[in-house]
């Protein structure tokens, strides 16, 4: 009996450590998502398990601070080094050949990561990161919607929600009513534009986020919400008790244009949601479309991102009596599968009204389905710009815990089984704006940098060839949001209907479509298209003359001339910087680094050394710096031996980072022939940054707005003043500072004053500000949870966020901290070698917790300093590979309070990649 007894005693001694081990259950969410991907994803060839694993690990590293992953595929195996904080482990698996194998690996990664995360880290972040990481390797539209995002998504697509019925926003930090919606609870109780909402139920709105405010105002139909309003003329906040009702989100706007007893209808679809067709029918009824004086309808789908497929089909069907609308299909190794076609029905149609559809680069997905259906069936004339080019369909599948999987399950084909994926729908008449001003010059079509074809893994292999428009033309852009004359006021809070009407009157495409329909004499499509082409041809001459006249204001001849090839150009670029001389503006050439917060002129000069005249000579830039990319210089007509120059005014922001950017100038002539190319580099010198040291303490002795007995304890029903002292220890002056005290205790604390401003802090300067709050009830753990934000409006990377606790038993205890300081040692902004060493020191008054480095968006380094001897100053050094022409390197560090600092470095690699 002695041996079993010994084993029992040993087992009992082991029990505490067994129970102390954190139990990490298997992630059902990862398993479910992978299972659905395996069953219904659109294209099985895109389910590449090794690539999905890499994506999952990269995303986990990027999203969870103390995680670093390295993966290697070798001899049919996958080797993973996973580091979480101070813990690391090497995993070896058979390389995944199916989703079951991938799930096994991800479960092991998730379990180890969660096991070693700090207690305050949200464990679901691990699952969300891994899932979105492998979904991103499928296509740009498949993703996991976290519960908060999915809640908003369902509200937007359902078309209604329980609420009070008003548009709200933040104005100067105050939660403000932009406009109550007509015939809703908010309008019926008398709420007005510009009213400030200071309290919702028992909670102060001071520093309440807009999303939090929206969620508190929404609720079940028939329930009540209490809000307190401050209005001009009120001496104190007024209480309003509002019963929530079903609020409809309108997806359709309509308007009618009249001219000489004729009418043209305008309908704008903002998005395709559950009620869109119903709203279209209501809009048509309101327009009295069946009366004889009705000349036609403009359907505006510009900047419509899409929405519900079934609504796109129904809207198309409303204007068609026959023909194919759209087909959907999946793909497998044998080609298309589960092809389903949708056709129009004669008994639902509205065929006898001439119709024009307006589109642009922001018209995507469902709006492209409608556009293509109406175009291909010769029902409407399409005018505008090439559409976005999204030819895939996503299904939203609710998941456990309130999340949802948005997964691409099919492709759609427009009539004729044509895929518009990554190419878009070509309008009958392509119309693009041109800009001629000192600040902005654009006389050629802009690159489609925001379209589907710019997205990673965008199904480009599906797309058919781009169709050619019947006519391509332009118009000279005039700001459609500015008043036409001095008497016309621009008021943000003006009547929304008047604002919309005024913008329609200035909208070139709307007015063009309106004029075409008023001019049109017949109902058939061919006649409408001819009328449109004739009108645009005539209008093009007007716009041409306007543009030539505009260029003449800048002494540039933009007329078209007969020219020959064989041009020979030389060019020169330089910069001038704005200064002051004898109290007057003065511009001087600069050949050194341009300091941040400068105004410069980038000059480009061209000399024609050839034997032929050049016409409409234009130079367009290419650069990895967005500020210098895709800018244009116009020279117009350049005679033999003639020299001309053009400059661009460029503002280098005060927060600009140090970098060295290469700019390429490509010269083209009237025939769009490239006639010359040159390069120029611009170096920018960043300003020194502020670093904030701050202390937090409390008062309840009757000073600075506090109300209490002054015993040093924070007690229920007292008004507490929170003092924050901020000192700038950095080498540079700060921008305007906004300080926010945010409540983490819910209804126990009522914030009275939670936002303060400091104009700026010079180096070494210190200021004190005070917040106040009412303590409604005492916390159970004797600590009040708050967070402090110090937001620098000029240098956002110098901003500070810290969560902290105020002990109620000893309010004199100070919170004192400063953000860690990162100093790079001699960072070079250019390198001819692909290998680049980054090194530096990190300083913190209490101790550096950890640091990590991103190289071109990939986390490549993590180090924890918790066990270090001297953590107030730590040193780092790392060899990096420069993989792009312009490499962004980000160094991030945290202190023990999780206060972060970041340093960003741009390095231009001038070798060959």
**Residues with catalytic roles:** 365, 390
**Residue pair 634/443 in contact by the 8 Å Cβ criterion:** yes
Q: What is the DSSP letter of 460?
A: G
Q: Torsion angle, CA of 291/296/302/305, rounded to 10 degrees?
A: 60
Beta-strand runs (E) in 208-346: 224-230, 238-243, 245-248, 252-259, 262-269, 294-300, 324-332, 335-343
Bridge partners of 727, per DSSP, are 693, 766
- Other CB atoms within 10 Å distance of the CB of residue 416: 10
The Cα 392–Cα 408 span in angstroms is 7
CA distances from 295 to 119, 353, 876 (A): 67, 7, 72
Query: Using the 8-state DSSP alphabet, how is residue 427 labeled?
Result: P
Nearest to 410 by CA among 487, 339, 346: 339
Q: Which of 223, 170, 175 is nearest to 199 (CA)?
A: 175
**Which DSSP state fits 305?**
-
Residue 236, both tokens: 């104190």
> H or E segment at 212?
helix 210-217
φ/ψ region of 272 (left if φ > 0, alpha if ψ in -120 to 50, else beta) reads: beta
Tokens of 553: 């204001």
Which segments of 95-232 are extended strands (E)?
Answer: 143-145, 160-163, 166-171, 174-180, 196-200, 203-204, 224-230
DSSP class of residue 96 equals P
* Stretch (H or E) spanning 282: helix 276-286
The answer to whether 669 and 617 have CB atoms below 8 angstroms apart is yes
Helix, strand, coil abundance in the chain, percent, nearest 5: 25, 40, 35
Q: What is the distance between the alpha carbons of residues 238 and 216, in angstroms, rounded to a whole number?
A: 18
Roughly how many angstroms between the first and final C-alpha of the chain, as a whole number? 74
750 within 8 A of 773, measured Cβ to Cβ? yes
Identify the three-state secondary structure at position 535.
helix
Q: Closest Cα to residue 897, out of 863, 849, 836?
A: 849
DSSP 814: P
- Given a contact cutoff of 8 angstroms between Cβ atoms, the answer to whether 64 and 114 are in contact is no
Q: Which tokens hold the place of 242?
A: 């509002």
Count CB neighbours of 451 within 10 A.
21
DSSP 624-659: SSGGGTT-EEEEEEE-TT-EEEEEEEEEEPTTPPPE
Residue where the block lists tokens 């117009």:
636
> Is the alpha carbon torsion for 385, 391, 393, 394 positive or negative?
negative
Cα separation values, 12 from 5, 669, 829, Å: 11, 88, 62
Of 185, 46, 56, 147, the C-alpha closest to 109 is 56
Distances in Å between the Cα of 845 and the Cα atoms of 535, 691, 867 are 72, 12, 16
Which strand (E) or helix (H) includes residue 576?
Answer: strand 569-581
Q: Is 172 exposed, middle or buried (0-12, 13-18, 19+ CB in 10 A)?
A: exposed
């Amino acid at each position: 009996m002695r041996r079993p007894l010994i084993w029992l005693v040993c087992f009992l001694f082991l029990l505490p450590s067994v129970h102390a081990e954190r139990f990490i259950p298997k992630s059902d969410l990862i398993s479910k998502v992978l299972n659905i991907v395996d069953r219904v994803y659109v294209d099985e060839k895109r389910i590449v398990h090794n690539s999905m694993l890499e994506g999952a690990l990269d995303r986990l590293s990027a999203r969870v601070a103390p995680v670093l992953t390295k993966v290697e595929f070798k001899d049919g195996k996958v080797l993973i080094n996973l580091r979480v904080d101070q813990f690391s482990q090497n995993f070896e698996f058979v390389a995944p050949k199916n989703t079951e194998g991938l799930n096994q690996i991800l479960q092991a990664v998730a379990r180890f990561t969660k096991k070693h995360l700090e207690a305050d880290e949200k464990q679901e972040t691990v699952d969300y990161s891994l899932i979105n990481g492998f979904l991103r390797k499928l296509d740009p539209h498949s993703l996991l919607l976290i519960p908060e995002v999915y809640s908003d998504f369902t509200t937007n697509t359902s078309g209604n929600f329980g609420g009070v019925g008003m548009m709200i926003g933040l104005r100067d930090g105050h939660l403000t009513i932009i406009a109550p919606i007509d015939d809703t609870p908010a309008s019926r109780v008398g709420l007005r534009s510009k009213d400030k909402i200071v309290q919702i139920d028992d909670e102060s709105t001071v520093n309440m986020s807009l999303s939090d405010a929206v969620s508190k105002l929404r609720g079940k139909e028939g329930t009540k919400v209490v809000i307190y309003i401050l209005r001009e003329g009120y001496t104190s906040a007024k209480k309003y008790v509002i019963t929530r009702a079903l609020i409809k989100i309108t997806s359709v706007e309509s308007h009618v244009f009249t001219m000489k007893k004729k009418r043209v209808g305008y309908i704008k679809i903002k998005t395709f949601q559950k009620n869109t067709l119903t709203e279209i029918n209501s809009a048509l009824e309101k327009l009295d479309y069946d009366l004889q004086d009705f000349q036609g309808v403009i359907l505006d789908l510009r900047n419509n991102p899409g929405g519900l497929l079934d609504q796109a089909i129904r809207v198309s069907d409303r204007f068609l009596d026959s023909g194919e609308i759209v087909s959907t299909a999946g793909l497998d190794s044998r080609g298309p599968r589960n092809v389903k076609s949708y056709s129009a029905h004669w008994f639902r149609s509205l065929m006898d009204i001439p119709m024009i559809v307006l589109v642009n680069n922001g018209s995507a997905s469902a709006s492209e389905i409608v556009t293509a259906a109406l175009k291909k069936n010769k029902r409407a004339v399409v005018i505008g710009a090439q559409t976005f080019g999204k030819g895939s369909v996503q299904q939203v599948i609710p998941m456990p815990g309130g999340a949802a999987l948005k997964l691409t399950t099919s492709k759609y084909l427009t009539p004729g089984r044509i895929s518009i994926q990554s190419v878009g729908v070509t309008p009958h008449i392509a119309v693009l704006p041109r800009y001629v001003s000192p600040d902005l010059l654009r006389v050629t079509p802009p690159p489609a940098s925001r379209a589907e074809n710019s997205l990673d893994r965008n199904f480009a292999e599906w797309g058919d060839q781009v169709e050619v428009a019947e006519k391509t033309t332009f118009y000279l852009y005039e700001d459609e949001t500015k008043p036409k004359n001095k008497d016309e006021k621009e008021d943000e809070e003006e009547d929304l209907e008047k604002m919309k009407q005024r913008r329609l009157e200035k909208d070139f495409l709307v007015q063009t479509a309106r004029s075409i329909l008023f001019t049109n004499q017949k109902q058939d499509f061919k006649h409408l298209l001819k009328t449109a082409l004739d009108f645009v041809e005539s209008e093009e001459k007007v716009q041409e003359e306007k543009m030539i006249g505009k260029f003449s204001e800048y002494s540039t001849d933009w007329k078209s001339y007969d020219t020959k090839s064989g041009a020979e150009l030389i060019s020169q670029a330089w910069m001038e910087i704005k200064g002051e001389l004898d109290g007057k503006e003065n511009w001087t050439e600069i050949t050194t680094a341009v300091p941040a917060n400068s105004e410069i002129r980038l000059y480009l000069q061209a000399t024609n050394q050839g034997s032929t005249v050049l016409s409409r000579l234009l130079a367009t830039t290419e650069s990895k710096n967005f500020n210098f990319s895709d800018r244009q210089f116009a020279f117009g007509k350049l005679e033999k031996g003639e020299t001309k120059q053009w400059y661009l005014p460029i503002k280098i922001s005060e927060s600009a980072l140090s970098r060295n950017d290469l700019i390429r100038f490509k010269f083209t002539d009237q025939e769009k022939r490239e006639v010359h190319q040159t390069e120029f580099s611009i170096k920018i010198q960043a300003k020194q940054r502020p670093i904030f040291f701050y202390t937090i303490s409390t008062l309840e002795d009757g000073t600075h707005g506090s109300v209490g007995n002054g015993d040093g304890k924070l007690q229920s029903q007292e008004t507490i003043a929170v003092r924050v002292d901020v000192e700038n220890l950095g080498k540079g002056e700060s921008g305007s500072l906004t300080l926010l005290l945010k409540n983490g205790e819910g209804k126990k604390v009522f914030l009275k004053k939670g936002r303060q401003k400091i104009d700026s802090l010079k180096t070494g300067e210190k200021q004190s500000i005070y917040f106040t709050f009412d303590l409604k009830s005492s916390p159970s753990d004797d600590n009040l949870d708050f967070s402090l934000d110090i937001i620098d409006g000029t240098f956002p990377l110098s901003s500070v966020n810290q969560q902290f606790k105020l002990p109620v038993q000893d309010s004199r205890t100070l919170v004192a901290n400063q953000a860690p300081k990162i100093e790079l040692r001699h960072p070079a902004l250019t390198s001819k070698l692909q290998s680049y060493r980054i090194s530096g020191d990190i300083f913190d008054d209490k101790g550096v917790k950890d640091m990590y480095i991103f190289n071109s968006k990939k986390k490549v380094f993590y180090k924890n300093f918790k066990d270090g001897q001297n953590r107030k100053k730590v040193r780092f050094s790392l060899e990096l590979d420069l993989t792009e022409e312009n490499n962004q390197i980000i160094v991030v560090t945290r202190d023990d309070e999780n206060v972060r600092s970041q340093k960003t470095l741009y390095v231009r690699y001038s070798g060959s990649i």
